[in-house]
C-alpha cells in the first residue's frame, strides 16, 4: 500500500468538518477584536501598566486577557501603542503573548481538546506562551528601539492624519455614535475575517489532506521522538499560518504526534509563521524578524521537547 492515498471524498469530508468547526471561532475572534477596536480607548491599555519596566513587561504578557487580539490584528495595535510611547519590551511581549494568553484562545483550545485533558493542554499552552513572550520581550528591551524597529515606525505622523475611522474613536471615545462605532466594528471584523480565513482555509485543506491521505504508519517513526516531532510540527505550523483562535482544532487532529509536539505547534504558530513574517516586517527590521524566528524556534523547541515531558512525568501526567 502506498504511503499517500488521496481521495476527494475523504478530503472533502474532512475539510468541511474542519471548516464548520473552526470558521465560527475565526468569526467570533474577529468580531470581538473589532468591538475592542471600536469601543476601548488605547490609553486604557497603556494606562494600566506599571512604571517599572520589568513589571510592565510581565503585565504586558497578560494584557491579552483584557484585550484579546489575535496575531492577525495585533500588529496595527502594537504600532499604535508604540506611537503612544509603550516601551519596546512591553510591545514585543504583548505582541507575542496576546494571540495565546487570551480567553477566546483558551476557550477554543479547551473545546478542541475535549476528551484529551483539555484543562491541562489549555493551561500548558497559556503558561508556555506567557513565559516565552516575556522572555523575548525582556531580551528585546535590552536593545535600542532604532536597532529593532524600522525607521518611521515610532513618531510617524500617520496617526495624526485622522480620517473618520475607528482610530479616532480609540483616541477620542466620544467621537461617533453607537451606530457608527458598531458599523465600524463589524467592518473591521469582516476585513480581519476575510484576511484570516484565507489562511485558515488553506490550513484546513493541508490538514485534511494530511489526515486522510497519508498512511499514519509512515509518520510513526517521526512521531515517536519528542524532539523530531516537536521540530516538525513547529515548522508545519509556520507553513500552515493558522489563526490562534482555531489552530487548536487542527492540532487536536494530529493524534499520532505526542502532546508536547502539539503544544509546540500551538505556541510557535501564533508567534511566528509565514503570514506573520510579512506582518512583523511592517514594524521591525528584517534582521530582527529573522532572529525572532530562530530564537522562538529554539526556545519553544527546548521547552516543549525537553522540559515539558520531564514536568509531565514528574507530576504523573
Binding positions for another protein, 114-153, rule CB under 8 A: 114-116
Q: Which of 35, 66, 127, 213 binds another protein (CB under 8 A)?
A: 213
Segment (H or E) for 98:
none
Q: Which of 214, 222, 228, 306 binds another protein (CB under 8 A)?
A: 214
**How far, in Å, CA of 62 to CA of 64, rounded?**
5
Candidates 12-20, 232-240, 257-265, 288-296; binding stretch for another protein (CB under 8 A): 12-20
**How far, in Å, CA of 88 to CA of 227, rounded?**
32
Q: How far apart are CB 217 and another protein at their closest, in Å?
A: 7
Binding positions for another protein, 55-114, rule CB under 8 A: 73, 75-76, 79-80, 111-112, 114
Q: Which is nearer to another protein, 144 or 160 (CB)?
A: 160
Candidates 13-21, 94-102, 235-243, 298-306; binding stretch for another protein (CB under 8 A): 13-21
Q: Which of 90, 188, 231, 296 binds another protein (CB under 8 A)?
A: 188
Q: 3-class SS at 219?
A: helix
DSSP string, 59-85: HHTTHHHHS---HHHHHHHHHHHHHTT
Going by the DSSP 8-state scheme, the letter that residue 21 receives in this structure is H
Q: How far apart are CB 54 and another protein at their closest, in Å?
A: 30
**How far, in Å, CA of 227 to CA of 225, rounded?**
6
**How far, in Å, CA of 50 to CA of 186, rounded?**
33
Q: Which is nearer to another protein, 38 or 92 (CB)?
A: 38
**How far, in Å, CA of 306 to CA of 297, rounded?**
13
Q: Which is nearer to another protein, 77 or 134 (CB)?
A: 77
Segment (H or E) for 101:
none
Q: Which of 134, 207, 299, 308 binds another protein (CB under 8 A)?
A: 207
- Write the Ramachandran bin of 2: left for phi over 0, alpha for psi from -120 to 50, otherwise beta: beta
Binding positions for another protein, 226-285, rule CB under 8 A: 249, 252-253, 255, 279
Q: Which is nearer to another protein, 57 or 211 (CB)?
A: 211
Q: How far apart are CB 254 and another protein at their closest, in Å?
A: 9
Candidates 88-96, 141-149, 209-217, 294-302; binding stretch for another protein (CB under 8 A): 209-217
**How far, in Å, CA of 30 to CA of 32, rounded?**
5
Q: Which is nearer to another protein, 28 or 312 (CB)?
A: 28
Site size toward another protein (CB under 8 A) is: 76
Which positions ≥6 away from 181 have C-beta within 8 Å?
Answer: 38, 39, 166, 169
Amino acid at each position: 500500500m502506498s504511503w499517500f492515498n488521496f481521495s476527494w471524498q475523504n478530503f472533502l469530508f474532512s475539510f468541511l468538518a474542519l471548516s464548520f468547526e473552526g470558521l465560527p471561532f475565526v468569526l467570533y475572534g474577529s468580531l470581538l477584536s473589532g468591538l475592542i477596536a471600536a469601543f476601548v480607548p488605547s490609553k486604557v491599555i497603556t494606562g494600566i501598566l506599571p512604571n517599572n519596566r520589568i513589571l510592565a513587561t510581565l503585565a504586558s504578557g497578560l494584557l491579552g486577557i483584557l484585550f484579546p487580539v489575535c496575531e492577525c490584528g495585533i500588529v496595527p495595535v502594537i504600532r499604535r501603542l508604540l506611537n503612544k510611547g509603550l516601551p519596546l519590551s512591553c510591545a514585543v511581549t504583548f505582541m507575542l503573548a496576546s494571540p495565546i494568553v487570551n480567553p477566546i484562545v483558551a476557550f477554543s483550545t479547551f473545546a478542541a481538546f475535549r476528551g484529551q485533558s483539555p484543562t491541562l493542554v489549555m493551561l500548558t499552552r497559556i503558561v508556555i506562551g506567557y513565559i516565552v513572550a516575556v522572555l523575548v520581550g525582556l531580551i528585546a528591551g535590552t536593545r535600542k528601539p532604532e536597532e529593532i524597529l524600522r525607521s518611521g515606525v515610532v513618531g510617524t505622523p500617520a496617526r495624526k492624519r485622522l480620517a473618520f475611522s475607528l482610530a479616532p474613536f480609540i483616541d477620542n471615545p466620544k467621537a461617533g455614535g453607537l451606530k457608527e462605532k458598531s458599523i465600524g466594528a463589524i467592518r473591521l471584523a469582516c476585513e480581519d475575517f476575510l484576511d484570516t480565513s484565507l489562511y485558515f482555509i488553506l490550513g484546513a485543506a493541508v490538514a485534511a489532506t494530511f489526515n486522510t491521505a497519508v498512511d499514519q504508519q509512515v509518520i510513526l517513526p517521526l512521531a515517536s521522538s519528542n524532539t523530531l516531532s516537536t521540530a516538525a510540527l513547529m515548522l508545519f505550523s509556520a507553513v500552515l499560518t493558522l489563526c490562534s483562535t482555531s489552530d487548536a482544532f487542527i492540532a487536536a487532529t494530529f493524534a499520532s504526534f505526542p502532546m508536547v509536539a502539539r503544544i509546540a505547534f500551538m505556541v510557535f504558530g501564533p508567534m511566528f509563521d509565514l503570514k506573520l513574517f510579512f506582518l512583523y516586517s511592517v514594524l521591525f527590521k528584517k534582521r530582527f524578524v529573522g532572529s525572532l524566528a530562530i530564537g522562538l524556534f529554539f526556545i519553544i523547541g527546548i521547552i516543549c521537547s525537553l522540559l515539558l515531558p520531564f514536568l509531565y512525568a514528574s507530576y504523573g501526567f
